[in-house]
Amino acid sequence: MKIDIKLSGVGGQGILSIATVIGEAATAAGLQLKQAEVHGMSQRGGDVQSDLRLSTDTISSDLIPLGQADLIISMEPMEALRYLPYLAPAGAVVTASRPFVNIPNYPEEAALLAELDALPHVVRLDIDTLAREKGLPKSANMILLGMAAPSLPLLQPAQLRDAIARVFARKGDAVVNANLEAFDLGFEHAKSVSQ
């Protein structure tokens, strides 16, 4: 069994932290793991994307071919749409719904969201606003990871929570607890959408 994940967003949003947590959980679970080099400009505001491949069997390449991604996890709606050519026909998109407007000709928000909503398998949420409302402004990315958890069949939510605790342990209990709370918020949202 395998899952191919395309991660996308804008520099500074925490895409690499999502990849680190998934990678930590996969390694602890004894899964095979390959992660492609991050492409784009990782400074704040630049496009960032990465391929993450998990499998119970050997993985030959770290790059996901066009049309083969099982899941797109995106911190930004336009970035989610940018990588749709990689999405498999039965693949899912989990994305933040609030745009990060970093270019002068950024598309109209309503048009972006309409295009996302036309996809057969999409979960979206304004994670930035939710994170601020809950007092978790630096944990929006973990809300997104929680939203993606039901679409990660090789990993259980508890394994992802344990990985969050290990990855953020050096930053102290308050940071660990904030990220776990954020993950749980996203997971609950995804469960409510799927019912």
Query: Is 94 within 8 Å of 59 (Cβ atoms)?
Result: no
Rounded CA gap, 168 and 139, in Å? 11
Rounded CA gap, 36 and 57, in Å? 18
Overall average pLDDT of the 61-80 stretch: 94
Percent of the chain with pLDDT over 90: 76
| pLDDT on residue 44 | 54
As to burial, measured by CB atoms within 10 angstroms (0-12 exposed, 13-18 middle, 19+ buried), residue 78 is buried
| pLDDT on residue 45 | 58
User: Does the structure show a pLDDT above 60 at 40?
Assistant: no
| pLDDT on residue 38 | 66
User: Does the structure show a pLDDT above 80 at 42?
Assistant: no
pTM across the whole model: 0.92
Overall average pLDDT of the 62-78 stretch: 95
Query: Is 78 within 8 Å of 106 (Cβ atoms)?
Result: yes
Question: How many CB atoms are closer than 10 A to CB 112?
Answer: 19
In the chain the domains, ranked by start, together with CATH numbers, are: 2-194 (3.40.920.10)
Overall average pLDDT of the 145-160 stretch: 97
Query: Is 99 within 8 Å of 75 (Cβ atoms)?
Result: no
| pLDDT on residue 46 | 66
- What tens digit of pLDDT does each residue of 167-189 get? 999 999 999 999 999 999 999 99
Query: Is 83 within 8 Å of 72 (Cβ atoms)?
Result: yes
| pLDDT on residue 97 | 93
